Amino acid sequence: MSLAFLSSLPGLPFGAEDIDSVTLNTSDGMLIVLSVIIGVIMFGIALEMKVDDFRHVMKLPKAMAVGVAAQFICLPAITYLLTVALNFRPSIAMGMILVACCPPGNISNILVYRARGNVALSLSMTALSNFLAIFLMPLNIAFWGGMHPEASQVLKDVDVSAIELLLDIVVLIGIPLTLGLLISSHRPGLAKKVQPIVKKFSLIFLILFIVAALAGNFKVFVDHIALVAVAVFLHDTLALLLGYGIAAGFKVSEPNRRAITFEVGVRNAALGLGIAISVFDGLGGVAMVAAWWGVWDLIAGLTLSSWWARRPTGDIEESTLEAAESA
């Protein structure tokens, strides 16, 4: 089955230009700004972390192992199968693989809280997954992208190596996370005061950056958004279902299932967009998938968390207690 037929449907603006030959209009200045924004976002995530978040891993080993395996093994694998089965354009397939290899975003914790999930598990998984991503993200991108029948050509064209990806990710994730964790560990009072400000302004500046990038690439956006939106909708839906399905299959509690659902289904699309621009030179499908993922992820996450908020977990007292303890 292929989605190539979409480009010929009347009334849909797919056929203006091949998305694989389009590069977004970016500059070195924009890349620097985006890198700073991503660094601040990761710094904000780390300010919210505590050493106890890592100790909590030992308290819920099954749920943690299921969630981490779903993120770093199952999601990239099922993304690979989805892109091959539906024969997405090479750059779109590469964008989907890139996003699947990203760690969870910090909004996942908010969504878990809204959904009556286990916030303590969510915080611990976000902390662990972001540190694991420093090493696993470049390996996953190189592995799944390199063996993909279409996306592998994208990697060859931009001459991406796992070492280059690792260096970029260390700068974008490793350094800000380490600095933030040091502050939260040694100056918890300062971290508690600064974190809400950092979180709010990094989100505002990220939204402004995406709006500015879309305005500078409006024609490309209009020409290809429908195909990208279909790809992202299918991918995001599959990621959320994967998280809940695997958690249910291993019979973890309902609050933990909801936490794992958002930890798997909510990706750090800002990081993906940064990699798309810096490493993949703003290639159309790669960058547009990452950018639209950030928008759609929020819409889908808020919708699902609002629906779950009105439905009991079957373990409400435990979920509420753990949420209060982690706040």
Question: What are the residue boundaries of the structural domains of the chain, listed by start?
Answer: 33-326
pLDDT at 239 over 70: yes
DSSP secondary-structure letter at 266? Answer: -
In the block, residue with structure tokens 């916030």:
119
Q: What pLDDT, on a 0 to 100 scale, did the predictor assign at position 9?
A: 38
Res. 232 pLDDT band, cuts 50 70 90: very high
Res. 13 pLDDT band, cuts 50 70 90: very low
Exposed/middle/buried for 215, CB within 10 Å: 0-12, 13-18, 19+? exposed
> Whole-number mean pLDDT of the chain?
83
Look at 88 and 199; give whichever has higher pLDDT. 88
Q: What pLDDT, on a 0 to 100 scale, did the predictor assign at position 91?
A: 92
Q: What pLDDT, on a 0 to 100 scale, did the predictor assign at position 164?
A: 74
- 197 CB-near residues (< 8 Å, 6+ apart): none
Res. 57 pLDDT band, cuts 50 70 90: low
Exposed/middle/buried for 291, CB within 10 Å: 0-12, 13-18, 19+? buried
Q: Find the range with the poorest average confidence among 62-66, 161-165, 256-260.
A: 161-165
For 64-96, what is each residue's pLDDT tens digit? 999 999 999 999 999 999 999 999 999 999 999
Query: Which residue pairs from 211-215 have beta carbons closer than 8 angstroms and sit at least 24 positions apart in sequence?
Result: 213/24, 213/26, 213/30, 213/291, 214/291
pLDDT at 12 over 50: no
Look at 124 and 29; give whichever has higher pLDDT. 124
Mean pLDDT, rounded, for 87-107: 92
Q: What pLDDT, on a 0 to 100 scale, did the predictor assign at position 325?
A: 39
Look at 17 and 146; give whichever has higher pLDDT. 146
pLDDT at 100 over 90: yes
- Token readout for 57 is 């891993």
User: Is residue 83 within 8 Å of residue 100, measured between CB atoms?
Assistant: no
Annotation: CATH topology of 33-326: Na+/H+ antiporter like fold (1.20.1530)
Output the pTM of the full model: 0.82
